[in-house]
């Protein structure tokens, strides 16, 4: 709207709304995010520059400044500061890319040439897990199903699984399952008496008794 050159006309508006396309709104959001990220990055860079300037031009200007700074940080550990004089001298010289002054060369003798290697406890080899058979895994399955030892369902299921295993040509595994869960019942004679293990098998050559006429 152009201003009125005479100054007699004044225009006002209320409830003005602005409608943007989705593409324009997305572009403005990205620009706002970039401006915020740039502001954060500039503050972070200024902080790092100030910290480097403080360390390089003040703290590590020379060995004496480094010692004073270290004492200010560890005012209750004077003995530790004295023990770290050689380290501070090397640090200050490295920061300024110069050699250690001759008056401080004797401090280098305080640094050990080689640090002792850390001692690690001898590692104990892990025990080799015992190989478990198919019968062991099947027993755990029965336990998880709630089929305790002596439950007839264990033998019934073992027979069915054994037949399936035999169809896969795993005869040894099938026999192992039967021996574990469905062992053969001991033989008992018809009269109910247990066989005498001391008596040998019947002799086929024993002659039958003869009757006298």
Q: What is the pLDDT of residues 41-66, one digit of tens each?
A: 999 999 999 988 888 888 888 888 88
* Domain boundaries defined on the chain: 22-110, 134-181
pTM: 0.38
Q: pLDDT tens-digit profile of 156-201?
A: 888 888 888 788 788 888 888 788 887 765 555 555 555 554 444 4
Question: What DSSP designation does 198 have?
Answer: T
């Amino acid at each position: 709207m152009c201003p009125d050159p005479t100054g007699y006309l004044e225009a006002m508006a209320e409830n003005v709304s602005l409608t943007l396309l989705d593409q324009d709104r997305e572009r403005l959001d990205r620009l706002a995010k970039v401006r915020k990220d740039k502001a954060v990055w500039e503050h972070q860079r200024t902080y790092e520059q100030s910290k480097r300037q403080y360390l390089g031009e003040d703290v590590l200007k020379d060995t004496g400044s480094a010692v004073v700074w270290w004492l200010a940080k560890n005012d209750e550990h004077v003995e530790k500061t004295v023990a770290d004089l050689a380290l501070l001298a090397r640090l200050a010289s490295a920061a300024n890319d110069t050699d250690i002054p001759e008056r401080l060369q004797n401090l280098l003798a305080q640094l050990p040439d080689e640090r002792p290697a850390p001692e690690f406890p001898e590692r104990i080899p892990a025990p080799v897990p015992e190989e478990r058979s198919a019968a062991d895994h099947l027993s755990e399955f029965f336990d998880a199903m709630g089929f305790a030892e002596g439950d007839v369902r264990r033998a019934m299921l073992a027979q069915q699984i054994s037949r399936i295993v035999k169809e896969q040509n795993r005869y040894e595994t099938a026999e192992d399952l039967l021996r574990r869960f469905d062992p053969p019942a001991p033989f008992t004679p018809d009269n109910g008496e247990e066989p005498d293990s001391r008596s040998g098998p019947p002799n086929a050559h024993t002659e039958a008794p003869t009757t006298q006429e």
